[in-house]
Structure 1
């Protein structure tokens, strides 16, 4: 887990010392063999996910905030490889080189990350589901330790269903998305619950009003859904 925490934190403390064009906010990719790693960074949340064309491998993430010009504070809120790490916090200094994120493990190994997008767009940010339609009525979902989040950059998304107190992980999926003319479309690249969904494209009606995102359509199983997500 030390490697996992360091991998992210090496990406972020440069916020206070780099120009806007070099900001680490957004989506990043690293490929090793047949495994793809994708790192998503919003102003408050991050996720790191490993997967290949056949299966979801692992994912972890949580919240972060800047702690001085060259450090960030990180709190791990889910980790599919080791739930006992949930709740751990750390502060680590870091940097960026030549437009790429260069991350290092405690043993000295380095990993290069290539930018996918710069994290801008009307849906970019961290969202929590706050209400869902049931029997024709929108029903509020109380804020609790068990939560479902969506992390979006300019072109990539990931949802996670977790309990941030117990470390329980209930599922995650992600890939690319577009949001044009009131239509939100996801293309699934990984899905922890059912790898047969990989490659599917799902379209939804969507609108953003302030910090609320109204989202309706059919789930990957074909069930009708109508949800409201609120920006954190």
Structure 2
């Protein structure tokens, strides 16, 4: 009965565009069942998406995935740059049907495991100077700034809807190095993030980290202490500019 109701929900579709998705979303139902034991958060920004999943009871990291997406009317296509649950899927594109109804997003389609229907609820809208999809292109050590051009191996950080997620991966070898995410604020030159999931160490969940930030010539200059207490100064460039692709 629940699955029938969800499928009927799809007929109430509205025309949507890529910008309508921008922000952060939380999965509430999958294939007719309420999602309570695992928290899935998905962020969309600047034609890129990333999701992270953790077990609610003990904050154990479950998985992550993401990459570029496109949306034309209700035809939604995801291409995976990284996917911890099945790395062999990296590089593949999958087409779904997507509908927005009453502040909820319904994604449906046929997969290798059968019909998939997901319902996502949008989290409160938030925008600030750092809202965007970023790729790291520089670091400062002492007074010297070193620059690099992101290639197949790159580190991305996507911020939207008051949520952030960073991911380090290699899209050619399909190697995944790590990810973490949570909530953040960026105000008056102070960037503060609270970790809600971390692939390398579940015990870091709940930690709050504060940094200084400036946006200089469209780039995010980020400085402070890392989660290990080491001084850092990073330069992040908008992904569409910093990453040139193959």
State the TM-score, normalizing by the size of structure 2.
0.81
Q: Matched residues in 2 for 1:122 and 1:220: separation? A: 23
2:45 maps to 1:42: yes
Q: Given the alignment, which residue of 201, 209, 218 partners 2:208?
A: 201
Instruction: Give me the CA root mean square deviation.
Output: 2.3
2:119 maps to 1:112: yes
Q: Which runs of 5+ in 1 are unaligned?
A: 1-9
Quote the offset at 1:127 in angstroms: 0.1
Quote the offset at 1:34 in angstroms: 2.2
Q: Matched residues in 1 for 2:102 and 2:150: separation? A: 41
Displaced runs of 4+ in structure 1, greater than 6 A? none
Q: Which runs of 5+ in 2 are unaligned?
A: 1-9, 29-34, 240-246
Q: Matched residues in 1 for 2:38 and 2:77: separation? A: 28
Quote the offset at 1:147 in angstroms: 0.2
70-79 or 117-126, larger mean C-alpha shift: 117-126
Quote the offset at 1:33 in angstroms: 2.9
Q: How many residues align?
A: 217
Q: Matched residues in 2 for 1:223 and 1:173: separation? A: 18
Q: Select the structure of larger CA radius of gyration.
A: 2
Q: 1:142 to 1:96 in 2, by over 3 A?
A: same
State the TM-score, normalizing by the size of structure 1.
0.85
Q: 1:30 to 1:139 in 2, by over 3 A?
A: same
Quote the offset at 1:215 in angstroms: 0.2
Alignment of 1:12-51 (within 5 A): 17-18=15-16, 23-31=20-28, 32-51=35-54
The CA deviation string for residues 67-126 of structure 1, in whole angstroms up to 9 with x for no partner, is x43323421100011111111123434212222112335344533211113363321111
Q: 1:119 to 1:108 in 2, by over 3 A?
A: farther
Q: Matched residues in 2 for 1:121 and 1:111: separation? A: 29
Q: Matched residues in 2 for 1:43 and 1:19: separation? A: 12
Q: 1:137 to 1:62 in 2, by over 3 A?
A: same
Q: In structure 2, the residue corresponding to 1:94 is in which secondary structure?
A: strand
